[in-house]
Structure 1
Amino acid sequence: MFGITTGKTATTYDPSGTISRQDMARFIHRMFVPTGMAAAGVTVVPTFTDTAHVTADGLAAIDALASHGITTGTTTTTFSPDDNVTREQMALFLYRFAQIVGAYDDATPSGITMSIASGAYNYSDIATTGFESMEAIIGLYNAGVTGETCISTTVATCGTTYRPTEDITRAEMASMLTALLNHTNARPAGVSIQTTTAVTATSEATSISCRNADFTVNQNTLVDSFHQVRTDTSATTIAASVPFVAVTNVVNTSTGGVTGTGTVGT
């Protein structure tokens, strides 16, 4: 959708495989354009002494992330481009990215709001991580980013452990990137529509986005919107109205709708 990853080969993704730090830099760098992130930040980029063998696109990605403070290297002079990304490092990368990217409803990028005031989290194995790492993991947990990383080999424990020292897999990485992108202003090329959920009748907020091939906004585009009119104004029917059929994910076309208080679907 956004061209963030092209797979390991033309036909394989290698979901259980690991990810090098230079590849992770490439993935996050490719998130810049869809989310409207500035190409470069204001942080002085360290002179890494171990990246001479990295290709031009990898070097550009590392420098871009460093300029925004998303990565600070493994030391003041090394990036360790060939090392695998751990789950703790992944949390740090994404949390720092989230602090400066624009939220989905934010015209001026000021970071994604992540509630960590309560300190609520389910993980029993993050107390020994550094302060910033723990803050990053808790912040992403509260934003629903880390909850998407349960895979078959970890499903028994992923609800209560974060496993910060383990190498992150490509499947886990993809889930976390997608979950974080959902908080941003990134939208696919073409027309997309979304609406608020879990709201009372008449308070739905529907948004339509039209993007060019490079994901930039196609302004002042006319879009036709179609909806099913509701036919019953009783409170009981309003409460029972189901906007979408769970099995098919299409608009509910049954007669249990309500006229004048909203629409069953758009």
Structure 2
Amino acid sequence: MGLFGDQGDSVFRNVKRGVAVVAVNAVIAVLLQGVASAATPTVPTGLTATPGNKSVVLSWTASSNVPTDYIIQWSPDAFVSTTHRFFDGVSTATTATVTGLTNGTSYSFRVKGYNGDGTSDATAATAATPYSNHTPNDLAVFDACPASLVPAAGFTDHTSVDIDCVKYYGITKGTTATTYSPVDFVTRWQMALFLTRMAVPAGATLGTGADQGFTDIVGKSTEIQTAINQIKQLGITVGKTATTFAPDDYVTREEMALFISRLLKAVQVGPGGNWEYVSGNSGATEIKSIDTDHNYTDLGTVSLVETQTAIKSLWNLGVTEVTSATLYSPNVNISRLNMAQMMANALDHTNARPAGINIQGSTYSGTGSLEVTVSVTHRTAGFLPVVGSLVDSFKYQHVTTAGYSRFSADGSCAQTVASTVGLTRCYIDATDRATDAYGNIATFVEVVQSATYDLWAWTAASGTVYDDDIHGTDVSKITVISV
């Protein structure tokens, strides 16, 4: 007799049946689970996040297994404790714009594929920071350093045209004859030299450089002490305190904004530069922007209202270069490269223009009917205004007509015609415009319609007839193309 007596065989058979049923059910469950898993969407891939104004555009590669929707999640704390779902309706599109975000706040995003069989795991999180995608509104129309006129600085450690520009105007001499050291920081005594050298071509009148009460600049060279005192006289600096300038401290980016902003207010606006009334809607004017739009998210670290205003103004003037689309980095020391970029951009708004006669257009190419605003300036070799110069301008349309040319074999004007302000082509007389006290003639407009035009400006004594063999080396020319 077995352990269970006569009923042992029956019990054993029932146990075997139970085990078999459990095993079959387990196999079926596994098989069904496998079928469901195969139909669930795979994890989307390649998630990218592009920030915009109070929004972020997401894009990803589609899941496999026919997703019927995507679940979009976002978090302000990298999904540590907070997860939100962005509801954009049912869609199989592989891009979505998450709206309602706060500019300057970093958000993390992830996406899951979904269909009736299940939801995939989430993509790896991708972060982005929305920002105000404004564009500067008060850019200068013309250039202090036209690319065709400003030579390379001769420094072997950079490729920046802005460094070429500040070298052209004598603002920098380089750290050696062949190096500029663009990544080095700028000390306050160096900045004083740069600012005084910038002020003259910009149109400022420097003071005597008499002692302004800074007791910590003793021991610096006479040139340095004079420059520091001169920028105090111009109102560009007030010093660290009433009696200290801290000449060996590095210049921060917020200090740079103040220096440039104050210098611009101390000089005359140049052709095509932006000006506003000092206050109200009449009276004195100064170079600045009163537009407060900008894209920076880190100005909250700037305590002085004047500094915040300066940074916003310079951004709208197109003066500030940026370390990113949203960061100004006000507390970071400014590099020599960034200093050159800001100075070159600021000069565009001032009266700084190349030596000699110079013609510029507001645009040089386009389609249809182009209205080109034209500026003509005259400067000495030291970039000072030449006052009272009679300026003649003329133009020539490019054609394929046989026998047509700009100049005849003897250098005289051939098929050229007078500009809109040149009453007598290729001839200087009293009817021509004369440069004003700032060395400029009033801007004028030329219309170019589906053609290519050359436009010249030149100056000489009244009664002089243009001869390209004689005057061709001193004339200034631009070409405008309309297609």
Specify the TM-score bucket, using the shorter chain as the normaliser. 0.7 to 0.9
Which secondary structure does the structure 1 equivalent of 2:286 belong to? coil
Deviation of 1:208 after TM superposition, in Å, equals: 1.4
**Is the Cα–Cα contact under 8 Å of residues 188 and 248 in structure 2 kept in the other structure?**
yes
Deviation of 1:36 after TM superposition, in Å, equals: 1.7
Instruction: State the AA in 1 paired with 2:317.
Output: A
Find 2:479's aligned residue among 251, 254, 257. 251
CA distance in 2, matches of 1:12, 1:67: 32
Equivalent in the alignment of 2:290: 115
Cα distance change, pair 166–252 in 1 and its aligned pair in 2 (3 A): same
CA distance in 2, matches of 1:179, 1:80: 27
Which secondary structure does the structure 1 equivalent of 2:397 belong to? coil
The gaps in structure 2 that reach 5 residues or longer are 1-167, 274-283, 401-447, 455-477
Equivalent in the alignment of 1:208: 376
Question: Which structure's CA Rg is the greater one?
Answer: 2
CA distance in 2, matches of 1:214, 1:19: 25
Equivalent in the alignment of 2:397: 228
Q: Encode CA deviations 1:114-146: one digit per residue, 9 max, x unaligned.
A: 133xx2111111122121110110010010111
**Is the Cα–Cα contact under 8 Å of residues 452 and 481 in structure 2 kept in the other structure?**
no
Equivalent in the alignment of 2:192: 25
TM-score, normalising length from structure 1? 0.77
Deviation of 1:86 after TM superposition, in Å, equals: 0.4
Cα distance change, pair 113–241 in 1 and its aligned pair in 2 (3 A): farther
**Is the Cα–Cα contact under 8 Å of residues 45 and 66 in structure 1 kept in the other structure?**
no
CA distance in 1, matches of 2:174, 2:256: 19
Instruction: State the AA in 2 paired with 1:126.
Output: L
Equivalent in the alignment of 2:385: 217
Find 1:178's aligned residue among 329, 344, 350. 344
Deviation of 1:192 after TM superposition, in Å, equals: 1.8
**Is the Cα–Cα contact under 8 Å of residues 185 and 250 in structure 2 kept in the other structure?**
yes
Cα distance change, pair 165–221 in 1 and its aligned pair in 2 (3 A): same
Equivalent in the alignment of 1:48: 214
Equivalent in the alignment of 1:125: 298
**Is the Cα–Cα contact under 8 Å of residues 36 and 185 in structure 1 kept in the other structure?**
yes
The gaps in structure 1 that reach 5 residues or longer are 232-236, 245-249, 257-266
Q: Does 1:69 align with 2:244?
A: no
Structure with the higher fraction of residues in strand conformation:
2
Instruction: State the AA in 2 paired with 1:125.
Output: D
Runs of at least 4 residues off by over 3 Å: 197-203, 221-227, 240-244, 250-254
Which 10-residue stretch deviates more, 212-221 or 135-144?
212-221
Cα distance change, pair 227–184 in 1 and its aligned pair in 2 (3 A): farther
Q: Does 1:195 align with 2:361?
A: yes
**Is the Cα–Cα contact under 8 Å of residues 101 and 110 in structure 1 kept in the other structure?**
no
Which secondary structure does the structure 1 equivalent of 2:300 belong to? coil
Deviation of 1:204 after TM superposition, in Å, equals: 2.6
Cα distance change, pair 243–80 in 1 and its aligned pair in 2 (3 A): farther
CA distance in 1, matches of 2:258, 2:336: 17
CA distance in 2, matches of 1:29, 1:110: 22
Deviation of 1:251 after TM superposition, in Å, equals: 3.4
**Is the Cα–Cα contact under 8 Å of residues 88 and 164 in structure 1 kept in the other structure?**
yes
Find 1:139's aligned residue among 303, 313, 336. 313
Structure-to-structure mapping, 1:3-42, within 5 angstroms: 3-40=170-207
Deviation of 1:227 after TM superposition, in Å, equals: 3.7
TM-score, normalising length from structure 2? 0.44
Cα distance change, pair 123–230 in 1 and its aligned pair in 2 (3 A): farther
Which secondary structure does the structure 1 equivalent of 2:359 belong to? strand
Which secondary structure does the structure 2 equivalent of 1:14 belong to? coil
Equivalent in the alignment of 1:168: 334
**Is the Cα–Cα contact under 8 Å of residues 451 and 481 in structure 2 kept in the other structure?**
no
Equivalent in the alignment of 1:247: none
Deviation of 1:226 after TM superposition, in Å, equals: 3.7
Which secondary structure does the structure 2 equivalent of 1:141 belong to? helix
Which secondary structure does the structure 1 equivalent of 2:344 belong to? helix
Q: Encode CA deviations 1:11-44: one digit per residue, 9 max, x unaligned.
A: 1000011111011111110112212211129xx9
Equivalent in the alignment of 2:223: 57
**Is the Cα–Cα contact under 8 Å of residues 21 and 80 in structure 1 kept in the other structure?**
yes
CA distance in 2, matches of 1:103, 1:28: 17
**Is the Cα–Cα contact under 8 Å of residues 257 and 311 in structure 2 kept in the other structure?**
yes
Cα distance change, pair 160–230 in 1 and its aligned pair in 2 (3 A): farther
**Is the Cα–Cα contact under 8 Å of residues 196 and 231 in structure 2 kept in the other structure?**
yes
Q: Does 1:100 align with 2:266?
A: yes
Q: CA RMSD in A?
A: 3.1
Higher RCO by CA contacts (8 Å cutoff, separation 6 or greater): 1
Instruction: State the AA in 1 paired with 2:479.
Output: V
Which secondary structure does the structure 1 equivalent of 2:479 belong to? coil
**Is the Cα–Cα contact under 8 Å of residues 19 and 85 in structure 1 kept in the other structure?**
yes
CA distance in 2, matches of 1:89, 1:159: 20
CA distance in 1, matches of 2:218, 2:349: 35
